[in-house]
Each structure stands twice: as C-alpha cells, then as structure tokens.
Amino acid sequence: MRTTGSRTRLLGTALAVALAATGALSACSSSSKGGSKVVVASAAFPENALLMEIYAQALEAKGISVERKPNVGQRDVLFQQLKSDSITVVPEYNGALLAYLDKTATETSQSAVDQAVTAKLPSNLEILQPAAAQDNDSLVVTQALATKDSLKNVSDLAPYAKDLVLGSAPEFKTRQQGVVGLQSLYGLTFKDFKPLDNSGPQTVSALQHGDADVVDLYSTTPAIKTNGFVVLNDDKGLFGVQNVIPLVDKTKLSQAGVDALNGVSAKLDTTTLTSLLEQVVTEKKDPADVAKTWLASVGLNK
C-alpha cells in the first residue's frame, strides 16, 4: 500500500506541476498574443528599411521581443507574408497600399483612403494611425530635359511622352496611381516602360545615364537633390496621399505594440523623414544609429 500511495502522490505532484506549467505558458501566450517574437519587415528600398528599424526599436523600448526582416521584396511579397502570419508589422504608404488592394480606387484624401484600405484588408490585418510624413510618387526628369522641353508639370509631358521611356518599379505599370492613371487622367502614353527598382539606385542610374527619360522616384529620395533632378508638379492630383502607416497582423500584436507604433506616427513628419533618410543614404550612417538618435530625441526610447 505504501508503494501504491507513493505512486499516487507522485502522479498527483507531476500533474500539478504540468498544470502549473501549462497555466504559465498560457499566461505568457495571452500577454504577448502568441508568445512569439514580433516580426518587423521592410520592402527592398532604403526608406522602408529605415522605417522598419524605427518601428523595431520603438517596440523594443516597450519590452517587446522583435525579429527584423529587412529588404524582403515588393509589396505583393510582403502582403502575402503578412496574410500567412510570417511577419507581423511592415511600414506602408496608405495610397500605394490602396492601389495594390484595388487598382480602380480613386480616393485621394487621407481619411477616404484609410477607410477604403480598412474595408479591403483581410480579417487578420489592420492599419494603425497614419503619420503626417508622406513620401509620394513623383515623376522626375533631368534638368537638361526639363529645360529643353519646358517641363514643369506632368501635363507638360503630353506632346513628348510618345518619344520618352518611363522607368519605375514593375508594379507602377499596373497601378491607377501609375501608368494607368497617367494614361486615363493625363492622356500620356510613353514610348516604352522600363522595369527598375523601387526608387533606388537602379532607377537613379537609369535617369542619369539616359536609359529612361522619366522615372518615378519617391519625393523624399535624396538623389533628387543631389543630382539636381526636376520633380514635375502633379497638377491633376493623380498621386493623392502617401502617408507612412503601420500595416500589422492584429492577431500577433499586443496593445503595447499598437501604442508604440502609433507613438512613432504621432512624431514623424515629412521634413523629419527626409532628413533621416538623407543621413542614411547620403551621409552613409547606420540606419540603427539614425533610428536610435531620433527616437531618443522625441522620447520614444523608453
């Protein structure tokens, strides 16, 4: 009987330990929405990688464990990984995101764009608060071409587009806020479309060396200033708004994480974003150092 009683007590003790461990794991899981690291990713261009680092450090300042996945790829790759739970957070741009979700979308105001995006997202995804910072698409030409053809506005391209090569990231070709809208709103049909990178060195080089006559560069791109390129005024308002906005898997991000990212949006404006990007691209500073310094300056490092 002593043997049976001891065995019973041992089994009871083991069961209690197991239940306690299960309870501890359950508590940990609920507090971190799954207990795993928050995966913050970026598209394959410098500004988005910088924003990824800012988001990651802001989350870490709140005690959240973060894994970084920089330069994952184009929007379609990132979006599929968000849908499949492979990543948790990505810095997005509301207008471009809407154009991806609905190629026929015509909303242009921030509130209308955000509402339309929310209506079209899968159930596990949501956008958080947009930043005042915008990085809009812009059609850019060399100073030489602008002078030669008296180009100031996008509409000024009308007599010349048929002889010009347009260069941009591949997705620009099928977007309403891209080639589709340039045709329908401005009546522009270019001689050819050259697929390039996403407002990166390949696109800049193509314009510098004449491989493309007109390119799409994001408005905060330091190379515009460095090379004396001319940004054509979007006089018919095709490109709308492009506010920086966190796109997240809401099933994987705690309220503390939401608050941290909204805190970043509350402090980030276009002038600041342009300055931070210039430090990374032109001054060759480490994005992690640039992010750390800025977050400390606005009190988001703790």
For residue 5, is pLDDT > 80? no
Integer Cα distance of 200 and 223 in angstroms: 9
Q: What is the mean pLDDT of residues 59-72?
A: 97
- 35 pLDDT tier (thresholds 50, 70, 90): low
CB distance 235 to 153 below 8 Å? yes
Q: Pick 215 or 104 by higher pLDDT.
A: 215
| pLDDT (0 to 100) of residue 25 | 35
Q: Could you tell me the CA-to-CA distances from 221 to 48, 141, 191 in Å, in that order? A: 12, 14, 25
Enter the CATH code of domain 36-134+241-297. 3.40.190.10
Integer Cα distance of 237 and 221 in angstroms: 20
For residue 31, is pLDDT > 60? no
Q: What is the mean pLDDT of residues 63-78?
A: 94
| pLDDT (0 to 100) of residue 223 | 94
Q: Which of 44-48, 97-101, 265-269 has the highest mean pLDDT?
A: 265-269
Q: What is the mean pLDDT of residues 257-263?
A: 98
Q: What is the mean pLDDT of residues 117-142?
A: 96
Q: Kindly list the domain boundaries of the chain, sorted by start residue.
A: 36-134+241-297, 137-231
Q: Is residue 36 left, alpha or beta, with left meaning phi > 0 and alpha meaning psi from -120 to 50?
A: beta
CA atoms within 13 A on the CB side of 15: 6
Among the CATH numbers 1.10.540.10, 2.30.40.10, 3.40.190.120, 3.30.70.260, which is that of 137-231? 3.40.190.120
Model-level pTM?
0.77
Q: What average pLDDT is seen over the chain?
A: 89
Read off the pLDDT of residues 197-215 as tens digits, 9 standing for 90 and up: 989 899 999 999 999 999 9
Token pair recorded at residue 79:
């979006």
> DSSP code of 178?
I
36-134+241-297 and 137-231 agree in CATH topology: yes
Q: What percent of the chain has pLDDT over 70?
A: 88
Q: Which residue type occupies 141? A: V
Phi, psi of 278 (to 5 degrees): -65, -40
